[in-house]
Amino acid sequence: MGIIAGFFGTILSYIYGAVGSYGLSIIIFTVIVKAILTPLTIKQTKSTFAMSEINPKIKEIQEKYKNKPEKQNEEISRLYKESGFNPLAGCLPMLIQMPILFGLFYVFRDPVAHGVFANKAAFMAANGNFLWIQSLIKPDYVLAALSGISAYFMQIAMTPKDQLQGTMKIMTWVMAGMSFYWGFIFPAALALYWTVSNLFSVAQYFVITRPLKKRLALEKEERDAKKAIKGKK
């Protein structure tokens, strides 16, 4: 984790040198990270769309083999294989973000040790007020609330309604609660990164991934129409 933290610290140092604001540097760093992860986000969107497409078939299998769990798992696995769906694809962006979060936790806890600032005096000079935040190394309760709220709306916006039930609905509240709690115990810099990351994800969804879903839906309709024509022949 030290190598990752050192790498992030170096990048933040360069950004800070260019803009001269520690808080703004964190926001720019967040946008860069999210932009780099965009291909994975698109892949996640395709996976989510595919899941919505095969969900009715999964429910049919679960109902048909509700007393035969082994057969049920076998049929669901076969369905995944036939449709080319990978259940893990949707989790990949989140799995990649976890080491980023852990790395940034170390950086924000001691930015001098990880190369963001040359010495403590330089850090104290940069750690002044940013917006309403008095210190980016201490928790900020307003930012904690924004972190939890943004996490909730991100989950609501990006999760299809047919999947926003049961475990996924509980996870929405769990993620929001965890984000809120993290904001109360972790440096405000980390909560700032997480809040901006959530807001960027929502904006990214409406700008990139929502049109992508529409395109995928049209492609599915075209495939279904071609199959219907072939079936008539």
Full 3-state SS string of 44-109: HHHHHHHHHHHHHHHHHHHHHCCCCHHHHHHHHHHHHHHHCCCCCHHHHHHHHHHHHHHHHHHHHH
| pLDDT of the residue at 29 | 93
| pLDDT of the residue at 196 | 92
Distance CA 138, CA 30 (A): 19
Long-range contacts for 201-207 (Cβ within 8 Å, ≥24 apart)?
A: 201/34, 201/41, 201/154, 201/158, 202/150, 202/153, 202/154, 202/157, 202/158, 204/34, 204/38, 204/41, 205/45, 205/157, 205/158, 206/157
pLDDT digits 0-9 by tens, 6-22: 888 899 999 998 998 99
DSSP 124-139: HHHSS-BTTBS-TTS-
> Of 86, 89, 81, 99, whose CA–CA distance to 43 is shortest?
89
Cβ atoms of 81 and 54 closer than 8 Å:
no
Cβ atoms of 142 and 132 closer than 8 Å:
yes
Highest mean pLDDT among 31-40, 51-60, 168-177: 31-40
Better pLDDT: 14 or 73? 14
Distance CA 29, CA 36 (A): 11
**What DSSP designation does 141 have?**
H
Res 148 pLDDT > 80: yes
Distance CA 166, CA 88 (A): 19
Cβ atoms of 198 and 31 closer than 8 Å:
no
**pLDDT mean over 76-95:** 67
Nearest 10 degrees: CA dihedral of 210, 216, 221, 224? -150
- Sequence letter at residue 33: V
Res 68 pLDDT > 80: no
**What DSSP designation does 146 have?**
H
61 confidence band (pLDDT: 50, 70, 90): confident
167 confidence band (pLDDT: 50, 70, 90): low
Q: How many CA atoms lie within 13 A of 118 on its CB side?
A: 3
